[in-house]
């Protein structure tokens, strides 16, 4: 089996059917692990970074959509480790750019949750691009954690 970096796996998924994630078997041993007694880390975190442009006056609608997404209807066996929202504070809090960071324990957790979302019709409808949506997705990045030992 050829071991690929998380970045190359992500690119492959983007080029092919997104359903591929449900067929990939992820193993923690394929990804860098810090060998440090200080951290206690067993695997490397994965962060999905979404940047949205929220239409003027529609922040409440966008937050309602996120609240719906966090409800029990969309619970899956593997859930994110953390979820955080940030917005630009300069030139002011009404700036429409929102950055959403969703942290997963590792690439396997990210793959499992993504497969759940892509196979859930209601989830796909909730986040489908639509002219009347309160937000527009500007970009998505998949970030993988690394440590000092990996920088060599």
Cα 30 to Cα 49: distance, rounded to the nearest angstrom: 22
**What are the beta bridge partners of residue 101?**
49, 84
By the 8 A CB rule, do 118 and 149 touch? no
pTM of the model: 0.68
Three-class secondary structure of residue 33 per DSSP:
coil
Residue 37 inside a domain? The answer is yes
By the 8 A CB rule, do 47 and 39 touch? no
What are 118's two structure tokens?
């892509």
Q: Residue 112 to residues 19, 23, 63, 104, 140: CA-CA distances in angstroms?
A: 11, 10, 25, 10, 18
Residue 60 inside a domain? The answer is yes
* Residue 13 pLDDT: 41
Cα 117 to Cα 58: distance, rounded to the nearest angstrom: 24
Task: Name the domain count of the chain.
Answer: 1
Structural domain harbouring 98: 6-147
Annotate 47-60 with DSSP letters as a single string. Answer: EEEEEEEEPTT-HH
What are 114's two structure tokens?
């993504």
Residue 1 inside a domain? The answer is no
Residue 139 inside a domain? The answer is yes
Residue 42 inside a domain? The answer is yes
Residue 130 inside a domain? The answer is yes
| Element containing residue 113 per DSSP (H, E) | helix 107-119
CATH (domain of 23): 3.30.70.100
| Element containing residue 98 per DSSP (H, E) | strand 97-104
Residue 97 inside a domain? The answer is yes
* Residue 24 pLDDT: 34
Closest by CA position to 81, among listed 101, 112, 103, 99: 103
Q: What is the pLDDT along the chain (152 residues), one digit of tens a residue?
A: 455 555 554 444 434 333 333 333 333 333 333 333 334 445 789 999 999 999 999 999 999 999 999 999 999 999 999 999 998 877 766 668 999 999 999 999 999 999 999 999 999 999 999 999 999 999 999 999 888 877 66
Residue 152 inside a domain? The answer is no
* Residue 150 pLDDT: 74
């Amino acid at each position: 089996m050829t071991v690929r970096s998380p970045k190359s796996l992500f690119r492959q998924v983007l080029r092919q059917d997104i359903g591929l994630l449900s067929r990939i078997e992820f193993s923690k041993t394929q990804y860098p692990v810090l060998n440090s007694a200080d951290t206690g880390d067993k695997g490397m975190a994965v962060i999905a970074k979404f940047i949205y442009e929220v239409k003027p006056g529609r922040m409440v609608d966008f937050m309602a959509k996120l609240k719906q997404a966090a409800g029990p209807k969309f619970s899956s066996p593997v859930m994110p480790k953390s979820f955080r929202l940030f917005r630009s504070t300069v030139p002011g809090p009404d700036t429409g750019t929102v950055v959403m960071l969703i942290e997963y324990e590792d690439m396997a957790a990210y793959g499992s949750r993504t497969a759940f979302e892509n196979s859930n019709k209601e989830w796909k409808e909730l986040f489908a691009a639509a002219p009347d949506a309160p937000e527009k997705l500007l970009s998505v990045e998949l970030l993988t954690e690394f440590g000092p030992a990996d920088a060599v």
